[in-house]
Structure 1
Amino acid sequence: MPLPRITLDPSSTLYPTRDHPHSHPHAHDLPKPLHVETHPKGKNTGTEDASIFFIGNATTVIEWEGVRIMTDPNFLHAGDHVHLGPGVTATRLQNPAVDLHDLPPIDMILLSHFHADHFDQDVEKSLRRTLPIISTPHAKECLEGSKEGKFEKVTALDHWESAIVDIQNSNAAFKITGMPGKHVPPGPAGLLKKINDFIGAVPPTNGWMVEFGAKPKTIEAETDGVDVGYRMYISGDTLLVNELYEIPKRFPNVDLMLVHLGGTTIPSPKLPLAMVTMDAEQGIKLIHLIDPEVAIPIHHGADGDEPPEYDAFLSSLDDFKAAVAKDEKLKDRVVYLKRGGKYSFKASK
């Protein structure tokens, strides 16, 4: 059976928000990056044709072949609060590198799960309803039933399900596959999961495998997707659970990995009963498991004198950096981006 297909038009000039309150004209491009990083071993230097712009938390913009895909849009400012479930809140401590209403045209959103630190209340209110979104089945229900108005083009992918994203007037395409992830630790006899199922504090989550490639040449090949030229894994908000060990069996040779860290704790930093995202130690282990050429940490805790993205993040980026520096297999494979920084890479064969 052919995979679900989404077509993106790189000539589109539609901005992602429904209203544009600023009087100044919107830029057609992202801001000039504060710094640009490339392959740490110098691979493909000077031939890069794709990039990732880091806005903050888990929000990035992937650019290739004239289209922009935004991940986990979160544009609250320092001091703003998010509601993460019954009795669970978090405060943002860092501003995004770009304001929501200053974004250039965005062609699609890749949403790992429907949680306010990944899809905040301003985003839910402001985004145009015809913006294509790929997310989880749970998020699709929430987006289509939003009290701010139905999102009209939501594609749901469960774990291991795939969709093809065609780029109009181009031979290029993405294949996007939902990767397993668990936002709630198993606990004794699955107790925490049972409690969460009852109170609904932490929603189901996906990681993503984003494969950059060429469109299939025949109808028969459509079930296989694209002729892969580059493979990027985005962990999403997950813990290092057994289901993740299947990923390298199905998807060897990962080129780039975005790993969500932070050691997020609930119900609050003052009462850290459970950790629901990877800390530095788990993040290192997952990088070893996936074995990408390059890894970039996002969604992380304190970095030097800078506070964490959210006050619920208790595992610092400093801890992760220290562990990488001691690891001979990783110390020349990890790239660090500040908010407003960009990583450029070659995605085409």
Structure 2
Amino acid sequence: MATKPSITIDPSKKQPPTRDHPEPSSLKQHLPPAKSTTSHPTKTTENNASLFFVGTATTILEWEGLRLMTDPNFLHAGDHVHLGPGVQGTRQTNPAVDLHDLPNIDLVLLSHYHADHFDQEVEASLRRDLPIITTPHAHKHLANKGHGESFTAVHAVDAWENMFVNVNAGTTSGAKPGIHVTGMPGKHVGDGLLAKANDILGAVPPTNGWMLELGYSDSSNVNFECGYRIYISGDTLYVSDLEKIPEMYTHAGKPIDLMLIHLGGTTIPGPHMPLLMVTMDAKQGLQLVKLIQPELTIPIHYDDYDVFMSPLADFKAEMTKAGFDDKVVYLDRGDQFEFEVRGGKST
């Protein structure tokens, strides 16, 4: 796997997430209070990290002072997004927090350049020096928008490539927090002729999943030890490329603590004319759970737009039938999941 240059994030340098936001001194310090907070359903943990579900595939991870945001989409009910040639989606829900009410965001993790994951308001408003880790395809679009509009801190990480994010958190133990980010495979269009046609036409953008390994290095900034591993599926169907993931992690003694799975059975042009499904439905979602074998699964990206054909209730039914009710946590928009990143208490 190719390793990209590392970056360093200093969460103490509070900066507005958007370029038209008030001065940092008036920046909100916290996310809104969670409607509901949950943690591991069967284990007692000393939680030091949290995941706030905003809506769609937008989550905000908070750990060691760092705020990492995934796939920012902050449109409201009735707003439209462009999803491909002649294809439009209409949002059905509101985000748990508005874009311009966000506290400081230190890093964005973007699975692909699609408007329901990086909407037009987000693209226009985010501050241009906000670090973004994303696909080479999205990097090309975001970093080449012209003078004054280009994003200046975009990092391209393709499937199986990786990079390290150092977090200057000022821990007293001497342990240094960081995140090892590895691109995971994903395909909006399944294996076969349709995939080859899409590669030529470029109608549906290439997409990544991600493996996030949160952990600590020693005081000399070496010997990184993962304390919590999160797999984010991204917008993908169940394809053969995914079968390499457990070989690299679960079967290699690197268990996956949490999977954020993108569901919904997204259809193009929509459920009224479901010609092509581009994200997993409930049955494919269960298939992925069985493949990855995470300690816990949290479904996201399941009902926010009118292009979803497979409701969350279908996935719940599949998980119950498989006997996995103790292996899943369900979050509504505005809910929070708390967890423990192990390590960091000594040098």
Matching residue of 1:111: 110
Say what the alpha-carbon RMSD is for the aligned residues: 1.9
Matching residue of 2:215: 213
The reply to whether residue 256 of structure 1 matches residue 258 of structure 2 is yes
Deviations 1:216-270 (A, max 9, x none): 6668x5xxx8311111100000110001010011112100110000000012222
Instruction: Please say if residues 166 and 215 of structure 1, whose CA atoms lie closer than 8 Å, have aligned partners that are also in contact.
Output: no
Deviations 1:108-132 (A, max 9, x none): 0000000000000000000000000
CA distance in 2, matches of 1:179, 1:194: 20
Matching residue of 1:191: 193
Question: Unaligned regions of 5+ residues in structure 1, if any?
Answer: 301-307
- Report the CA distance between 1:15 and its aligned residue: 1.4
- Report the CA distance between 1:196 and its aligned residue: 2.0
Deviations 1:48-73 (A, max 9, x none): 00010000000000110000000000
Matching residue of 1:326: 321
Matching residue of 1:305: none
Q: Classify the secondary structure of the residue corresponding to 2:52.
A: strand
Matching residue of 1:19: 20
Q: Classify the secondary structure of the residue corresponding to 1:332.
A: helix
| Identical aligned residues as a percent | 56
**Pairwise mapping of residues 123-162 of structure 1 onto structure 2 (< 5 A)?**
123-146=122-145, 149-162=149-162
288, 298, 312: which one aligns with 1:317:
312
Q: How many residues get paired?
A: 331
Matching residue of 1:304: none
Q: Classify the secondary structure of the residue corresponding to 1:196.
A: helix
Q: Classify the secondary structure of the residue corresponding to 2:241.
A: helix
Matched AA of 1:13: K
**Pairwise mapping of residues 1-349 of structure 1 onto structure 2 (< 5 A)?**
3-20=4-21, 25-44=26-45, 47-146=46-145, 149-168=149-168, 169-170=170-171, 171-186=176-191, 190-215=192-217, 226-252=224-250, 253-300=255-302, 308-328=303-323, 330-349=324-343
Matched AA of 1:232: I
- Report the CA distance between 1:2 and its aligned residue: 6.5
- Report the CA distance between 1:194 and its aligned residue: 3.3
CA distance in 1, matches of 2:306, 2:200: 25
CA distance in 2, matches of 1:254, 1:217: 26
- Report the CA distance between 1:178 and its aligned residue: 0.2
- Report the CA distance between 1:20 and its aligned residue: 2.5
Matched AA of 2:79: D
Deviations 1:194-232 (A, max 9, x none): 33234322111110000011126668x5xxx83111111
- Report the CA distance between 1:323 and its aligned residue: 1.4
**Structure 1 stretch displaced more, 1-10 or 199-208:** 1-10
Question: Unaligned regions of 5+ residues in structure 2, if any?
Answer: none
Deviations 1:136-176 (A, max 9, x none): 01110010123671000011111111110001145110000
Q: Classify the secondary structure of the residue corresponding to 1:40.
A: coil
Matched AA of 1:228: C
**Structure 1 stretch displaced more, 315-324 or 52-61:** 315-324
Matched AA of 2:296: V
CA distance in 1, matches of 2:105, 2:22: 18
Matched AA of 2:331: L
Matched AA of 1:315: S
